[in-house]
Every structure is written in structure tokens, then in C-alpha cells.
Amino acid sequence: MAKQQPIELFMPPNILKAKMGGGIGGLDMAAVKRAEQAIETLKTEFTDWIAADVTKLSACRDAYAATPGKETCGDLYRASHDLRGQALTFEFPLVARVAAILCKLLDSEKVNPPLALIDAHVNAIRVIVKQNIKDKADKTAAVLIKELDVRVDEVLAKPA
């Protein structure tokens, strides 16, 4: 017979609500507008930011190439994961897509994923940023991304 698990359920005091004052429901659209304007101003820095992230990715790739292993692979995964999450914000949706496929490869149980396939991703990201391709419907990039996805799936489908 399964035993009843003791459970304590309680509501902490809502100090935050008292501190912040009473909201009257809905989003503060004035605050949204202010923040969106602030982001617009920040956009001038986005190209430099993504360039820095790509430089970091390249450095992690080089470290992995020099010393393939769990640690360098983990660093490379973190760099690609950053790009996956941020590139869309920085208005490079195709970089986010390629980085997501690279994450899929690096996040697998495969030991030492093939460098050539990693390079294909890193180079694709470099080219997209260098050529400032921000249109997610770019046909050449779409073909390349589909090919990368297929290649990664092939690697992942192979027995370890």
C-alpha cells in the first residue's frame, strides 16, 4: 500500500504587491512603449554584440579542435546555446536557427561530434553575420540550413 506523502501547502505573504502598489490590471502600455524605444536605441549595438558572440563561438571551436573532449565540447555548446537564444533578439534569425541545429548536435550523447560538421555550422554563422543576412526567408541560407539539419540528423541516427 502506498503511503500518503506529507505535504505542506502555504501562501507566503505578498510583500511585493504591497511594496509595488496596487496594479489595476493589464499591462502598463506606457512602460512597454518606453522599453521598446530603449531597445530601438540599443539596436545600434546589436551588430557588435553578435560579432562578439561569433568570435567567442569561433574561439570555442578552435579549443575543441585542439583538444576534443567533454569540457571543450561543453564550452562550444554554451557558446552556440547563447547564440540560439540571443541571435533572434539581435535580428539574426538565421543565426539562431543554425545555432539551434549545432546545439542539437552537441547536446547529443555522441562522443566527440565530427569537427567538419561543427565547422560547417560555425562557418555558416560567420557568413550570415558577415553578409548581414537578416531576412529569414533568404533562399540560399534556407537550403544550407536544411542541409545542415539533415547532416546532423544523419550523425545522430548512427549508432554510437
Partner 1 sequence: MSGYRFDRLKVLVVDDNQHMRKLVVTILQAFGTIQIFEAESAELAWSLLHDVNPDVIVLDWMLTGMTGLEFTNMVRTNAGCPNPFVPIIMLTGYTQIDHVRQARDAGVTEFLAKPVSVKGILTRLTAVIEHPRPFVRTKVYYGPCRRRRDKEEYRGPERRTAPQDNAQHSMAAAG
Q: What is the contact surface with partner 1 in residues (CB under 8 A)?
A: 1-12, 14-17, 19-32, 34-39, 42, 49, 52-53, 78, 81-82, 84-86, 88-89, 96
Closest CA to 83 of 56, 107, 105: 56
Shortest CB 116 distance to partner 1, Å? 25
Shortest CB 60 distance to partner 1, Å? 12
Nearer to partner 1, 16 or 157 (CB): 16
- Give the CA distances from residue 120 to residues 36, 59, 147, 153, 154, in Å, rounded to whole numbers and listed in that order: 35, 15, 10, 14, 15
CA geometry: angle 148, 87, 50, nearest 5 deg: 105
Nearer to partner 1, 92 or 124 (CB): 92
Residues 84 and 100: beta-carbon distance below 8 Å = yes
Shortest CB 66 distance to partner 1, Å? 20
